[in-house]
Amino acid sequence: MNQGLAKRIVPCLDVKDGETVKGTNFVNLRKAGDPVELGKAYSDAGADELVFLDITASFEGRKTFTDMVTRVAAEINIPFTVGGGINELSDVERLLHAGADKVSVNSAAIRKPSLIDEIAGRFGSQVCVCAIDARLDPDGWHCYVKGGRERVELGLFDWAHQAQERGAGEILFTSMNHDGMKNGYANEPLARLADELSIPIIASGGAGTKEHFRDAFTVGKADAALAASVFHFGEIPIPELKSYLRQEGINVRI
């Protein structure tokens, strides 16, 4: 197996009104809901990157989230991506200015694909992560928007190709069929994305065991694996996960 670049482990935190949702049971945190504290704990535990998603759409929520990004940047020394409600270049500018390393665009990019060209053109491809929520329907893998509530006519693979052509630096693929099920990642479509595209693919949706991470990297050929609840609830400590992956012959930073 080609060792290549180290595979990345990426905890994801959903943030609402400045607090992490999807409870956490990190006992040593002063405030389990504080995304900065949690991000720091993950960084200290060996996470390679972090993703913070703003799930409060209101203007007030935006301001709270931007303040949080500033605090995260001051406390954490691993790269972090922010997403949620990024609709135009000024949103990207504001979050990068606050200290984020990358931004993740989802529904807004499907509504207006040129947003990807704009972000990549202004800030570079490495800043633009295209998040795709897709579901395996009877007629194949289709993209969904509005938090997975509304199907669009775009197929997963067509859209991923287009995102790469427009300048996205990474694809964050969440399988809606697998998300929250803890039965493993969607390795078949992941492997196809990895084979067809030249940019990194981040697997999301379905982590329940250490073996699921291994399979996402070996069978699914993913470059990174993202998870939330298994980390938040302490089910899989990151140092333990990484030493397991290392034993399985997967190149991870320890």
**How long is the chain?**
254
Please confirm, yes or no, whether 14 is among the known catalytic residues. Answer: yes
Tokens for 186, please give them: 């969607």
Tokens for 90, please give them: 């000024």
DSSP tag of 7: B
Please confirm, yes or no, whether 133 is among the known catalytic residues. Answer: yes
Choose the catalytic residue: 34, 54, 91, 133.
133
In whole angstroms, what is the distance from residue 217 CA to residue 191 CA?
A: 9
In whole angstroms, what is the distance from residue 229 CA to residue 208 CA?
A: 9
238-247 vs 35-45: helix crossing angle, rounded to 10: 30
187-196 vs 156-166: helix crossing angle, rounded to 10: 40
Exposed / middle / buried, residue 161 (Cβ in 10 Å: 0-12, 13-18, 19+): middle
In whole angstroms, what is the distance from residue 119 CA to residue 126 CA?
A: 10
Please check whether residue 84 is in contact with residue 65, taking contact to mean a CB–CB distance below 8 angstroms. Answer: yes
Catalytic residues: 14, 133
